[in-house]
Amino acid sequence: MGKGAPPLPRASVKEVCLITISKNRGKVNRRENLNEIMRIKTLRVKNFRNYAEEEFSFGDGLNVIRGANAQGKTNAAEAVFLLCTGYSPRATKDNQLVKRGEERAEIACRAESRYGEISIEMEISRSEKKSVKINGTPILRLGELPGNVYSVFFNPNELKLVKESPEDRRRFMNISLSQMSRNYLFSLNRYNKILQQRNNLLKESDRLLVRETLPVWDAEFSKYAAKIILLRNEFLKMLAPLAEEAHACLSGGKEKLTMASESGYYGTEAEVADAVKEDLKTAFEKDIRLGFTTVGPHRDDMKLFLDGEDVRLYGSQGQQRTVALALKMAETEIFKARSGEYPVLVLDDVLSELDKVRQRRLLKKTDGIQTIVTCTHAEKSVFGSLPCKKMTVVSGKLKKSSSVD
């Protein structure tokens, strides 16, 4: 699909259909068209983290949640991303999300997109699974949540994306692609289950049983592996030039960001599935010896280079941060290219880590995207005369003097 193509109808946005991006992107005043940005209008939190009961109301552009340390800024940002995706950027267990001394938390938002209004309500309990209602109707599986309101989240912890293990880079792709494609999310869940069962089987002491049973698992394993690999390949193909462009913009174009994917599988779904199956056969003895599966997309990585040098090994803290931010900004552009709308961008505590020039460049890049920024009072000068809605949180409460400047 080329330049000027009509927006995809919502139904088909659920399935991956990555489209190429118009070269004119960003040259028009994006702010003029509210049809092109998803927006969270209100956020309600009850017994969530350090909040008893609070309601936030957001503007369509830049929103700034200010406050001293430990007041509830990240908690509010977390609630937004959790409602959009079902993922918490930091909690490992649901009970961390429930206010101390309470049994359950409720969070809800009202959002707007080109397809109208949508309400999302989530109940989080210490003892039961999360339950979610979309427009008042309960959903059966949490997997139905991503893809209704897209969101991209960034906080200093996301530096892991560049700095740490391949698992953090796979997590980035998984969260992003799960929002873009039901097919991806479904395949990933199936794949992870099969992988776990295959790994359990590999630890089985009865070798004959392993030899006889493994081919059955391998056919299913390869089928879902192929779907994941191809969707990731497509995603990375789009991500690379966009990340390079975003990086040049944030860093002033001093260095060139390049990426390489390590999947190494290309072709049709059937061809990739066959290739994975062959590799599983080759790795059979090794897998049995090690007791886990050494082939497949759960081992993929994506390498990041600045002027040809591996950023993970040689990049400074500031260079790594800028690369991580560039990846996230590129991700927002992919959402826009795919769905016709920008996602809700949540930038938690990002400004304090950037120098003034990069702070300004970043905020400029968010023009026309609903952005929720958290910061301490120290960074307030960055916003200068930029139009934005400012809110202040103190001990889990919104100060009443919030204003639109």
Ligand X SMILES: Nc1ncnc2c1ncn2[C@@H]1O[C@H](COP(=O)(O)OP(=O)(O)OP(=O)(O)O)[C@@H](O)[C@H]1O
Q: Which residues bind ligand X (CB under 6 A)?
A: 49-50, 67, 69-75, 96, 98-100, 349, 376
Nearest to ligand X of 22, 317 (CB atom): 317
53 in Cβ contact with 350 (< 8 Å): no
Nearest to Mg ion of 104, 321 (CB atom): 321
Chain residues that interact with Mg ion, rule: CB under 5 A: 73-74, 349
Closest residue to Mg ion, judged by C-beta, is 74
Structure tokens at 384: 């200068």
In the complex, what is the shortest distance from the CB of residue 77 to ligand X, in angstroms, rounded to a whole number? 8
Nearest to ligand X of 75, 85 (CB atom): 75
Give one DSSP letter per residue of 180-212, joined into a string: H-HHHHHHHHHHHHHHHHHHHHHT-S-HHHHHH
In the complex, what is the shortest distance from the CB of residue 24 to ligand X, in angstroms, rounded to a whole number? 38
Q: Report how far residue 267's alpha carbon sits from residue 282's, in angstroms, rounded to the nearest whole number.
A: 20
Nearest to Mg ion of 177, 393 (CB atom): 393
With residue 373 as reference, give the H or E element that holds it: strand 371-375
What, of Mg ion, ligand X, none, does residue 376 touch, CB below 5 to 8 Å by kind? ligand X
In the complex, what is the shortest distance from the CB of residue 121 to ligand X, in angstroms, rounded to a whole number? 19
In the complex, what is the shortest distance from the CB of residue 150 to ligand X, in angstroms, rounded to a whole number? 23
Q: Where are the alpha helices (DSSP H) in 157-268?
A: 160-163, 166-180, 182-202, 207-251
Nearest to ligand X of 65, 228 (CB atom): 65
Nearest to ligand X of 82, 246 (CB atom): 82
Nearest to Mg ion of 54, 349 (CB atom): 349
What, of ligand X, Mg ion, none, does residue 35 touch, CB below 5 to 8 Å by kind? none
What, of ligand X, Mg ion, none, does residue 320 touch, CB below 5 to 8 Å by kind? none
Nearest to ligand X of 68, 209 (CB atom): 68
In the complex, what is the shortest distance from the CB of residue 306 to ligand X, in angstroms, rounded to a whole number? 28
What, of Mg ion, ligand X, none, does residue 71 touch, CB below 5 to 8 Å by kind? ligand X
With residue 106 as reference, give the H or E element that holds it: strand 104-113
- SS3 state at 313: helix
**Nearest residue to 348 via CA among 319, 329, 384, 372:** 372
Q: Report how far residue 47's alpha carbon sits from residue 100's, in angstroms, rounded to the nearest whole number.
A: 8
Nearest to ligand X of 173, 393 (CB atom): 393
In the complex, what is the shortest distance from the CB of residue 110 to ligand X, in angstroms, rounded to a whole number? 22
382 in Cβ contact with 360 (< 8 Å): yes
Q: At what angle do helices 166-180 and 207-251 cross, to 10 degrees?
A: 80
In the complex, what is the shortest distance from the CB of residue 104 to ligand X, in angstroms, rounded to a whole number? 12
Q: Report how far residue 389's alpha carbon sits from residue 394's, in angstroms, rounded to the nearest whole number.
A: 17
**Nearest residue to 13 via CA among 209, 133, 184:** 184
- In degrees and rounded to multiples of 5, residue 383 shows phi and psi of -75, -25
Nearest to ligand X of 72, 343 (CB atom): 72
Beta bridge partners of 111: 40, 118
In the complex, what is the shortest distance from the CB of residue 149 to ligand X, in angstroms, rounded to a whole number? 21
**Cβ atoms within 10 Å of 185's Cβ, excluding its own:** 24
In the complex, what is the shortest distance from the CB of residue 44 to ligand X, in angstroms, rounded to a whole number? 16
Q: Report how far residue 38's alpha carbon sits from residue 34's, in angstroms, rounded to the nearest whole number.
A: 8
297 in Cβ contact with 251 (< 8 Å): no
What, of ligand X, Mg ion, none, does residue 69 touch, CB below 5 to 8 Å by kind? ligand X
**Nearest residue to 155 via CA among 317, 368, 377, 351:** 351
Q: Report how far residue 196's alpha carbon sits from residue 363's, in angstroms, rounded to the nearest whole number.
A: 43
In the complex, what is the shortest distance from the CB of residue 69 to ligand X, in angstroms, rounded to a whole number? 3
Q: Report how far residue 51's alpha carbon sits from residue 72's, in angstroms, rounded to the nearest whole number.
A: 7
What, of Mg ion, ligand X, none, does residue 33 touch, CB below 5 to 8 Å by kind? none
